[in-house]
Amino acid sequence: MGLIGMLPSSIPTYNSANPLTSILIVFFISLGAFFLIPIIMGHRNWRNAPPGPRGWPIFGYLPYLSENLHVNLFHLSKTYGPLFSLRLGQKPVIVISSPEAAREILKHKEGSFSSRTITEAIRCVIYDGSSLVFVPHSERWRLLRKIFTTELFSSRAIHLLQPARLQQVNDLLKSLYDNSKSKTLVNISESMFVAATNLTSNLCCSKSLFGGNMEIKELMEKVFDDVFIPNLADFIPILKIFDPQGVKKRLSKVAKKLDNAFDKLIDERLEEKKQGVKINENGRLDLLDVFLDYKNERKDECLNQFSRVDIKGMLIDMLLAGSDTTASTVEWGMAEILKKPKVYRKILVELEQVIGNNRFIEEADIPKLTYFQAVVKEIFRLHPAVPLLLPRRSNEACDVFGYHVPKHAMVLVNVWGIARDPKVWPEPLEFKPERFLESKIDIKGQDFEILPFGSGRRSCVGMPLGLRMVQFSLASLLHAFEWDCPIDTLEDMTEKVGITLHKAKVLMGIPKPRLQDSVYH
């Protein structure tokens, strides 16, 4: 789950029942104020602001941005530097475009930038933004983070979830084997999306919700469509009462149905607990187990138990965060690898040496695949699923590198832009896994040249699971099958902005088995 789509990229088309009044009000105020820009704004976006472009009153810099916001901001950084300012509507924004600036914000001054910017759509769908990802930095956030890291994403918990990962990936491989018999084109991203979402739902409630439960699948797809679309009301407060794009109206209907579906899941689990039914024989706890059974033994902490609303917020949080990111990363990885025969051959040679052709790959094989791990790092570098890290918000007014940052400013870290900076990476646009073979740079948040999972307190809590799923899935697809991809779907690397960055031209391919037939049965 990321920023792209959360920020308006241009002034959108209004489609509410009566948008004309709000449009005219904004237009005439903006037109009248246009001539006062030098007086109102001076030479900075605010007093002692970092350098940056000035925009219109009311709209700020929004009219000059496209849907490819990460690209726009990357080009602006070439003019204004690695730390610059602008206004999006009425919101003050600082943009981070270098490892040094990212380290300053995310590490040295993290205490001042540890909260989130929350949109109207998020408030509607994720219960006023009360889940782990969006809750303000507070005692509640610390408690939630501790529970997730110790109960759901600890080394033991991830180990106990291994059978579910194996099941989802093997089901995917067997499905592809069936496709290979009919030589049917496969949408690689869509196939990975189903597998990743089912794994996430197993983490949440020990069920594959995108298998038999079509209701939740359809509702989640509607959330994916709407929750991160550009919404001008997030940046011009006066428009919130009009809901000019109808985002809140549409999502409220979906949220109500999703709320009912989650209530059914919780009721089923409570009934199972009442009857003494064991959900996971290996002792693994899922999200429902953890939060339904939570009892706080410390009086100084902020919660003694979690309400239904809290639990439903965690469910939607995890489903949004744990699905599309894996699918998009695997899709980009497959495209980059299949485009480069030398890289592809090196991977296959390593797979043959470590695994052979008489079994599927196992997670225990991954640490032995040195070159393949370098390939995965290069995929994360060049194609971060969330090109602008989920936006942070300044908790207080503070100074950064001698510039003033006002309270509640939005903070955007352009990891996509950092990856394309020749001052940071030699030949940055080239897909070269070899750059990581002799490098100690890792992707786990300590090296600010590459931050696919963020860094610090608000980094992705599910990073250990997400990384394993990307490595295991991608290696399995390459090891089990050869791929015949139409040249247009392989060569076109244009980006499509959504919840994450996907290929605009969906990667399609016909799988051809590489292993002994008995392996697939």
Output the known binding site for heme: 460
- SS3 string of 119-157? CHHHHHHCHHHCCCCCCCCCHHHHHHHHHHHHHHCCHHH
Taking alpha carbons only, the member of 518, 511, 487 closest to residue 183 is 511
Q: How far is CA 343 from the centre of its chain?
A: 27
CA–CA separation, 193 and 205 (whole Å): 18
CA–CA separation, 45 and 33 (whole Å): 15
CA–CA separation, 396 and 300 (whole Å): 25
Question: What's phi and psi for 339, nearest 5 deg?
Answer: -75, -20
Q: How far is CA 57 from the centre of its chain?
A: 32
Q: Given the DSSP bridges, would you call strands 91-96 and 410-413 parallel, antiparallel or unpaired? A: parallel
User: Which residues, including other chains, have CB under 8 Å from residue 259's CB and lie 6 or more apart?
Assistant: 312
Taking alpha carbons only, the member of 311, 264, 274, 319 closest to residue 290 is 311
The answer to whether 223 and 5 have CB atoms below 8 angstroms apart is no
Q: Given the DSSP bridges, would you call strands 115-116 and 83-88 parallel, antiparallel or unpaired? A: unpaired
CA terminus-to-terminus distance, the chain: 35
Taking alpha carbons only, the member of 398, 411, 400, 513 closest to residue 458 is 411
* Four-point Cα dihedral 259, 263, 264, 267, nearest 10: 180
Mapping DSSP to helix (H, G, I), strand (E, B) and coil, where does residue 164 land? Answer: helix
Segment (H or E) for 206: none
Q: How far is CA 184 from the centre of its chain?
A: 30
CA–CA separation, 462 and 153 (whole Å): 6
The answer to whether 22 and 244 have CB atoms below 8 angstroms apart is yes
- What's the angle, vertex CA 52, arms to CA 49 and CA 53, rounded to 5? 130
CA–CA separation, 36 and 82 (whole Å): 29
Q: Residues annotated in the binding site, as ranges?
A: 460
Q: Which amino acid is at 2?
A: G
The answer to whether 72 and 65 have CB atoms below 8 angstroms apart is yes
User: Which stretches within 322-462 are classed as H helix?
Assistant: 324-339, 341-354, 370-382, 415-419
- What's the angle, vertex CA 511, arms to CA 508 and CA 514, rounded to 5? 150
